[in-house]
Amino acid sequence: MNVTFRQMRLFQALAETGSVSAAARALHVTQPTASMQLKEVSQAIGLPLYEVIGKKVHLTEVGKELATTAREMILNWELFEQRVDQLKGLSRGKLRVAVVSTAKYFMPRLIGRFCKKYPAIDVALEILNRDGVVQRLENNLDDLYIMSMPPTDMDLHDERLMPNPIVVIAPMSDPLTKRAKIPLKELLAHRLIMREPGSGTRMAADQYFRKKKFKPNIRLELGSNEAIKESVAGGLGLGVVSQHALHGMDKEHGVRIVDVDGFPLPSAWHMVHHANQKLSPVTLAFRAHLLQEISVKKHKP
């Protein structure tokens, strides 16, 4: 079989994007060129690698195996490039980071400061819900993953980054905001607005509610912290969110933290990767940057 490294990159882009045109754009070639190159790959393998159904590319079993092989080859090559760059002073490279949506309140600033240190390093940041990040983790698509509640059924290297307190919020004018130590059972009289099932925030809240044998009266389940804050400010109920969604403040945009028994829940942000994954020099530099930045922030008066 005679397949070039560039063709392997193109096939990997096809596997990731699910589109010939998107793969062509990723490798800066025309769609006809991409189609011709992909046809040559199929001919070299001697078996169908994908089929197009409703304008969407679906890989065959052989195609999936080739995509895994291509990804491993590309990652190994990038690792070699970064080792060479490390000898030259870590002047260039690529970093892939996937974070859950609530981490968007602090991760872009941390990544921005890293990019100022290493301006020639390209950073690809994926911001998804927890299920999306877990799926990327399962497929080993990124260098590092930032989430709360990492999956327990994978062999992971897991580092706790910093606290991720889960709080109850109410409209600013709600009398609950002026009270202290509100018993959890009083929330039975209120409708709750929660994150969607499967999110880290929801999992932490559900665990606490089960422990206390408390059945919340849920009005809405939303996939966005902004939507929860707006719904709470609009008087639709009390919300349960990460305090980072309030930019770490006690009050924001018409909502305020309520002092409910057991809250804030003691959740945390974790930095994870596969236990057998060999981190590239760029990834190691970014990991050290994160740990240093968070350590400095932790010890600020």
Give the domains, in start order, of the chain with CATH numbers.
Answer: 5-65 (1.10.10.10), 90-162+268-298 (3.40.190.10), 166-258 (3.40.190.10)
Tell me: pLDDT of 251 over 90: no
* Mean pLDDT, the chain, whole residue set: 90
State how far the Cα of 127 lies from the Cα of 298, in Å rounded to an integer. 24
Q: What value does the mean pLDDT take over residues 180-188?
A: 94
State how far the Cα of 173 lies from the Cα of 175, in Å rounded to an integer. 6
Does the pTM surpass 0.75? The reply is: no
* pLDDT value at residue 301: 47
- Poorest-pLDDT segment among 35-39, 78-82, 107-111, 124-128: 78-82
Q: What is the pLDDT of residues 103-138, one digit of tens each?
A: 999 999 999 999 998 888 889 999 999 999 999 999
From the list 100, 75, 142, 87, the residue with the least C-alpha distance to 286 is: 142
* pLDDT value at residue 208: 96
93 pLDDT band, cuts 50/70/90, is: confident
CB count, 10 Å around CB of 122? 12
Q: What is the pLDDT of residues 188-224, one digit of tens each?
A: 999 999 999 999 999 999 999 999 999 999 999 999 9
Q: What value does the mean pLDDT take over residues 243-255?
A: 83
For residue 102, the 8-state DSSP code is G
Q: Which residues contact 107 (CB under 8 A, 6 or more apart)?
A: 97, 99, 125, 146
Tell me: pLDDT of 300 over 90: no
From the list 25, 22, 23, the residue with the least C-alpha distance to 41 is: 23
- Poorest-pLDDT segment among 70-74, 138-142, 177-181, 247-251: 247-251
State how far the Cα of 55 lies from the Cα of 108, in Å rounded to an integer. 34
State how far the Cα of 120 lies from the Cα of 136, in Å rounded to an integer. 25
